[in-house]
Structure 1
Amino acid sequence: MKLLLLLLAFCCLSLSRCEEQSVPYDYSATIECLENPYKPQYNGGIIVNPDLQNGSQGWSQFGNAKVDFREFGGNKFVVATQRNQSSDSISQKVYLEKGILYTFSAWLQVSIGKSPVSAVFKKNGEYKHAGSVVAESKCWSMLKGGLTVDESGPAELFFESENTMVEIWVDSVSLQPFTQEEWNSHHEQSIGKVRKGTVRIRVMNNKGETIPNATISIEQKKLGYPFGCAVENNILGNQAYQNWFTQRFTVTTFGNEMKWYSTERIRGQEDYSTADAMLSFFKSHGIAVRGHNVLWDDPKYQPGWVNSLSGNDLYNAVKRRVYSVVSRYKGQLLGWDVVNENLHFSFFESKFGPKASYNTYTMAHAVDPRTPMFMNEYNTLEQPKDLTSSPARYLGKLRELQSIRVAGKIPLAIGLESHFSTPNIPYMRSALDTFGATGLPIWLTEIDVDAPPNVRANYFEQVLREGHAHPKVNGMVMWTGYSPSGCYRMCLTDGNFKNLPTGDVVDKLLREWGGLRSQTTGVTDANGLFEAPLFHGDYDLRISHPLTNSKASYNFTLTSDDDSSQKQPSLYVFRV
């Protein structure tokens, strides 16, 4: 009977969504711990009694926890107490449908100290993690996440914490379903706001008279949104590779050539010649470079001779390395990955103590104070089950770096590697919402997908579309650089630089986003005006008039700064 009611409720919900306009997406997230939680997003979506105003309605025990319903300061919430297992908590039964994208949020608190708490959906004996947060006592923290399912059916939401000594307090829960069409409409709306602007071109003659029926041809010569691909040194001297790359991308990262194990293979013998040559090549083609990396916290990827050092010898070697690479490329890079993957690994912390990253960022910033300093980490967007690098854990480390005492503020930035297998797109978007609440620049720095060939290109496209459309993502780099010995996890081309299916995805998206020299044409109206929505970027403009046989060529740049808050068209006046 309960299953029948769930099915009926879902059918009614689906029908109402079809009949009404699509639900707009709420990109907001809160990263502060607040005295009182906000109201549930989307009024709770399909969650029954989301703000606990109706007592126990819709909520029940999960595992062996004791469930209490409490009120404090006018706020009602539910509490899981007497927990003996990590999953002992509260729950609500829901019906999840294949093909629907679910955005989840909840406000959580624990009774003592701080503890990670995850939202989990049990379905057919399997457990789908939707996200986590580090909950605190005496204040409420927002968990934002999401999920999809492989088949339709009933499921049970519950909350999980490995710390069984704490009570889990829950309030303002929301589970909002979106169809794929609605999700795509969010992309279009966001792109229209943050990636595009409207240009208005007025054509006049030398007498200042407007010219109607003038032919307008606009060709984008450079994409405004930073989008690129990692490379290795085999691009040097390879004309076919160079041509393929420079026609498409505006930013790159060197896979290995700036890393310590490449530039100082033998202690005291530095060699930057390859990195220098690569940087010179990309500069000559107007392609920006990310600095990857100053140090890497993974013990496997240190220069061989480093492992034999200790104490002052190791400290002095690290100090020389930081000064050497950062001073050499000071002011020439988009940003630095300073201590790579310092959530999953802790080589330098094991040698110098818990402030090793703090001190390294301080040193790097002192040498190159204007270049953004990135925290670069994996599984922040990819795996909601990996609590080591969850958004909450990442933000905790970021706050430590934000406490660095320097004149002004250290220009920190968020680097999210994005090595996906099967993407959880709703979780990816929600995690980006959480990072977006920092106000810091966000880049997807090493995008690839490790999946079977029959689904890889599709998954890859999903990730790229989500990153490009998110209003807080400032740029994307794919970790798909070609190598004769094989790409890291996926290639875009074969050895002759003919596109593979993943490369076709890139070209398709570039054309959609205005790349690959996309063209817009038209004629001026009776007032000599032509108006068109364009992606941000650099453009060539050609104007001609068949009756006067006059022609003119110009160029212009459309940036996000050109768009006012009212999104008024940017007016350009040209003469022929």
Structure 2
Amino acid sequence: LFLSLSLLYSFFLLRNISDDKQSPIPNAEIKIEQVSHAFQFGTSLRTEMFNNDVPTFEQTKYLQIAKELANSGVHEDALKWYSTERNRGQINYADADRILAWSERNYSLPMRGHNLFWEVEKWNQEWLQKLEKDDLRQAVLQRATEVCTRYRGRITEYDVLNETLHGNFFRGRLGDRIIDEMFAQCAKADPQARLYLNEYDILSGKLVDTYVQKIRVLLDRGVPIGGIGIQAHIRENISVAQMQASIDTLAQFGLPIKITEVSVIADNESRKAQVLSDLYRVAFSHPAVKGITLWGLWEGSAWEPKTALYDRQFNPLPAAIAYRNLVLKQWRTNTIGQTNLFGIYSTRAFFGTYRVTVKSGDQYIQKKINFNDQNNSQHQFQICLNSKV
């Protein structure tokens, strides 16, 4: 039913450089192992899982699962404004820094930054709600500058504005053009960062047209939107066709799309697993989608326990089994073969980083190769074999 467009041909051309002729090597044994994905399979990371110098059993298990299932992380709550500046002027990035450091040690892809500004009033601190107009604008610009400068080169993309279709905390006080200022200030502080809007009620189609209108207006004004975020907190029946149609609609802008927050509640665990699988297949197979992020790994820490992939005892639920089967098995390229008479071995491979091992007689070499999307269907790598086993 689904075709992953991340599947392309990769050609490995083997030559012997032990002589001047660089002759091809037929019948060489070749082993190709995928080390990591170029596609972002992310997970949110909860602050309380990082707050002990000596991790508890639960923290250790949680982090083991997070490391195994994902190749990228996002602060679930540690980078939100109410976490970094609960009281005015008392700024604390310790939790965000700790999570980022762990992510950099354990993941192949950079973290996402979530989120800089949240339009829903109840998620903004009381002191922020009481600021006069000029002070609020100054606070907004200061936060954009501060965060994007602090994490420049480490966090490579941000959900700059969260849920602007469901609230107007900033726009109601400062006018619609405050969005332009938010994005411009972030871009000034970190010109390389990719800046996202992030919204829900999109996959269902409920607000997809409204989202399109909002994005178009902002782009026409020159707002440096670099990507489109689609939350996926699924609490209703959404067909595969509807998911596909919603993503297709947003793909018209030619911007990368991220499914930023995935959590599913269904009638039973089997149904939850099926919905999760459907969503991941749709996302991974769509050329505009560049990543998808889980929002609740473990029942003991998930913001809504029923969405978790692992129960309180860390047993995998059907959704975890389905996820692992897709992401860690089906969508991995690991193969063994031999070169043909012309020293060529070709295979279909997912984009990512590979460890390639080649043996021919007493010669041996192992190389790491990055195989990424460059908008063509064939990639050729030449491997020179001159090492002895």
Counterpart-to-counterpart distance in 1, 2:152 and 2:344: 45
Counterpart-to-counterpart distance in 2, 1:512 and 1:486: 25
The CA deviation at 1:292 is 0.6
Corresponding residue number in structure 1 for 2:369: 556
The 5-angstrom pairing of residues 392-403 of structure 1 reads: 392-403=209-220
SS at match of 1:432: helix
**Alpha-carbon deviations, 1:80-138, whole Å to 9, x = none?**
xxxxxxxxxxxxxxxxxxxxxxxxxxxxxxxxxxxxxxxxxxxxxxxxxxxxxxxxxxx
Counterpart-to-counterpart distance in 2, 1:429 and 1:217: 36
Corresponding residue number in structure 1 for 2:60: 239
Corresponding residue number in structure 2 for 1:327: 149
Amino acid at match of 2:215: L
Indicate how the Cα distance of structure 1 residues 569 and 400 shifts in structure 2: closer, same or farther if over 3 A, else same: closer
Indicate how the Cα distance of structure 1 residues 522 and 496 shifts in structure 2: closer, same or farther if over 3 A, else same: farther
Counterpart-to-counterpart distance in 1, 2:158 and 2:322: 28
Matched, 1:227 2:41: yes
The CA deviation at 1:569 is 4.6
- How many residues end up aligned between the 2 structures? 372
SS at match of 2:202: coil
Structure 2, unpaired ranges of 5+: none
Matched, 1:540 2:355: yes
SS at match of 1:494: coil
Deviates more, 1:501-510 or 1:206-215: 206-215
The CA deviation at 1:533 is 0.6
Matched, 1:248 2:69: yes
Corresponding residue number in structure 2 for 1:464: 280
**Alpha-carbon deviations, 1:17-63, whole Å to 9, x = none?**
xxxxxxxxxxxxxxxxxxxxxxxxxxxxxxxxxxxxxxxxxxxxxxx
Asked if the contact 1:336/1:373 (under 8 Å) is kept, the reply is yes
Matched, 1:480 2:300: no
Counterpart-to-counterpart distance in 2, 1:461 and 1:538: 24
Computed over aligned residues only, the root mean square deviation of the Cα atoms, in angstroms, reads 2.1
Deviates more, 1:230-239 or 1:472-481: 230-239
Deviating beyond 6 angstroms after TM superposition, the runs of 4 or more aligned structure 1 residues are: none
The 5-angstrom pairing of residues 80-229 of structure 1 reads: 184=1, 187-188=2-3, 191=4, 194-205=5-16, 206-207=18-19, 208-229=22-43
Counterpart-to-counterpart distance in 2, 1:240 and 1:495: 11
Counterpart-to-counterpart distance in 2, 1:352 and 1:520: 57
The CA deviation at 1:495 is 4.2
Corresponding residue number in structure 2 for 1:425: 240
Corresponding residue number in structure 2 for 1:263: 84
Counterpart-to-counterpart distance in 1, 2:280 and 2:291: 11
TM-score if structure 2 supplies the norm length? 0.89
Corresponding residue number in structure 1 for 2:226: 412
Asked if the contact 1:227/1:250 (under 8 Å) is kept, the reply is yes
Asked if the contact 1:223/1:537 (under 8 Å) is kept, the reply is yes
Matched, 1:280 2:101: yes
Amino acid at match of 2:78: E
The structure, 1 or 2, with the larger RCO (C-alpha pairs under 8 Å, 6+ apart) is: 2
Counterpart-to-counterpart distance in 2, 1:497 and 1:507: 15
Amino acid at match of 1:293: N
Corresponding residue number in structure 2 for 1:500: 317
The CA deviation at 1:287 is 3.6
Indicate how the Cα distance of structure 1 residues 287 and 573 shifts in structure 2: closer, same or farther if over 3 A, else same: closer
Asked if the contact 1:294/1:326 (under 8 Å) is kept, the reply is no
SS at match of 2:170: helix
Among 519, 529, 532, the alignment partner of 2:344 is 529
SS at match of 2:112: strand
Counterpart-to-counterpart distance in 2, 1:486 and 1:242: 14
The CA deviation at 1:393 is 1.1
Counterpart-to-counterpart distance in 2, 1:419 and 1:226: 18
Asked if the contact 1:231/1:482 (under 8 Å) is kept, the reply is no
The CA deviation at 1:411 is 4.4
Counterpart-to-counterpart distance in 1, 2:39 and 2:211: 25
Asked if the contact 1:381/1:431 (under 8 Å) is kept, the reply is yes
Corresponding residue number in structure 2 for 1:570: 380
Asked if the contact 2:295/2:302 (under 8 Å) is kept, the reply is no
SS at match of 1:437: helix
Asked if the contact 2:276/2:319 (under 8 Å) is kept, the reply is yes
Among 338, 344, 365, the alignment partner of 2:166 is 344
TM-score if structure 1 supplies the norm length? 0.61
Asked if the contact 1:447/1:477 (under 8 Å) is kept, the reply is yes
Amino acid at match of 2:278: Q
Which has the greater radius of gyration? Answer: 1
The CA deviation at 1:249 is 1.6
Corresponding residue number in structure 2 for 1:519: 334
